[in-house]
Amino acid sequence: MSILEIILLGAALSMDAVAVGMTNGMTQPKMRLPRAVETAGAFGLFQFFMPLAGYELGAAFAHYIVKIAPVFSFAILAFLGGKMIYECIKELVHRGKRSLAEKEKKNAALKLFVQALATSIDALAVGITLLALEASGTLALPALFASLVIGGVTFVLSLIAVLVGKKAGSLLADKAEILGGAVLVFIGLKIFLESI
């Protein structure tokens, strides 16, 4: 696998993180640049770590990882998306209570962790592929550096997506939370259906 192919692999693996990052930007149009960098950094870090974890787990668990990852990702993203939709509708019905932004701040770190985990689980299987390629001598970079490339590509693309999402969120106002939740559910469903 050449360096260009590793970069393209990183771009392909980052697409779920990019979509979720854009959703985060849409639902938080006033997000400051450090928070956008933190969001993209979380996605990039997980996309770096997961291939390494898959590489270390090796072929012994490959069969199980490939089977369980899509179901796990779907469950997490569907839950997060459904919760976002529910809270937005509840807020629209009960105006004047604690704002969505205040609630969002309270759970922001946990939510970002769960999103980054859910969008990077498929990279575990990629780590197993890296192990096989390295053993056959066809991997252009050691697995650690290949994972760094994957994480770096994810970081850059996710940051762009968050910033684009912020612009779209400003236009959508309070409907962005519903749209963002629907996007998360859709991404989870897509991951699940692609595995069938």
Most confident region among 18-27, 52-61, 94-103, 170-179 by mean pLDDT: 18-27
Give me the pLDDT at residue 119, please: 85
Position 160 confidence tier, pLDDT thresholds 50, 70, 90: very high
pLDDT digits (tens, 9 = 90+) for 99-127: 545 555 657 788 889 889 888 887 887 88
Q: Is the pLDDT of residue 58 over 80?
A: no
The chain-wide mean pLDDT, for the chain, equals 80
Contacts of 63 (CB under 8 A, 6+ apart): none
Sign of CA dihedral 137, 127, 181, 165: negative
Its pTM stands at 0.76
pLDDT score, position 145: 95
Per the structure block, which two tokens stand in for 183? Answer: 């996007």
Give yes or no for residue 187 having a pLDDT over 90. no
Of 2-11, 49-58, 70-79, 144-153, where does the model show the most confidence? 144-153
The whole-number average pLDDT for the span 42-49 is 96
- Cα gap 79→62, rounded to integer Å: 26
Radius of gyration of the chain (CA): 17
